[in-house]
């Protein structure tokens, strides 16, 4: 079970002494009760360790990337953003493989698709337990 902690702003009513004259509870932010530190020793709130899966491309994806590279160098010499964006996308799917949307038209189960917004290319990939396998890199206008 995942527990979420929610921060709520304190109001003046919360920080003033209780009307009944009773002492404030421990949750109150009364001057006598300093706020608890963010790390109260609860290890369940610690983020999970960063795990990066290797991102590998299929021979088909390699051929598509080489073809895109050739086209990009001929037609977009002043705009080298494609490969920086592609490298960043590979890094992201290596860290968070489930980030892309499921692509149900693929014959390969669990295929996901992520859009590279700057260049309008999609990467199609399959997250596995030990790696992320890139199946294809297509332009968004290419169609399916």
Domain span at 131: 55-142
33 within some domain: no
> Would you say residue 75 has pLDDT above 50?
yes
28 within some domain: no
Q: Do β-strands 55-57 and 101-102 pair in parallel, antiparallel, or remain unpaired?
A: unpaired
Our count of domains for the chain comes to 1
**All residues at 6 or more sequence positions from 24 whose CB lies less than 8 Å from its CB, including other chains:** 17, 18, 30, 32, 33
136 within some domain: yes
C-alpha 106 chain-centroid distance = 23
Closest by CA to 132, choosing from 69, 78, 54, is 54
Query: Is the whole-model pTM more than 0.85?
Result: no
For residue 115, the domain's CATH number is 3.30.2310.20
Alpha-carbon dihedral 105, 93, 60, 109, rounded to 10 degrees: -30
15-54 pLDDT, tens digit per residue, is: 455 555 565 555 555 555 555 555 555 555 555 556 789 9
119 within some domain: yes
CB contact at 8 A, 144 and 72: no
Read off the DSSP letter of residue 16. S
29 within some domain: no
């Amino acid at each position: 079970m995942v527990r979420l902690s929610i921060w709520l702003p304190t109001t003046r009513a919360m920080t003033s002494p209780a009307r009944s004259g009773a002492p404030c509870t421990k949750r109150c932010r009364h001057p006598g009760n300093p706020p608890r530190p963010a790390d109260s020793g609860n290890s369940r709130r610690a983020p999970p360790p960063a795990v990066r899966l290797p991102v590998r491309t299929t021979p088909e994806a390699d051929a598509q990337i080489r073809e895109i590279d050739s086209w990009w160098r001929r037609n977009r010499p002043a705009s080298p953003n494609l490969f920086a964006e592609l490298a960043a996308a590979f890094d992201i799917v290596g860290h968070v493989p489930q980030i892309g949307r499921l692509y149900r038209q693929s014959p390969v189960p669990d295929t996901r698709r992520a859009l590279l917004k700057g260049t309008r290319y999609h990467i199609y990939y399959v997250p596995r337990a030990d790696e992320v396998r890139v199946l294809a890199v297509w332009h968004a206008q290419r169609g399916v």
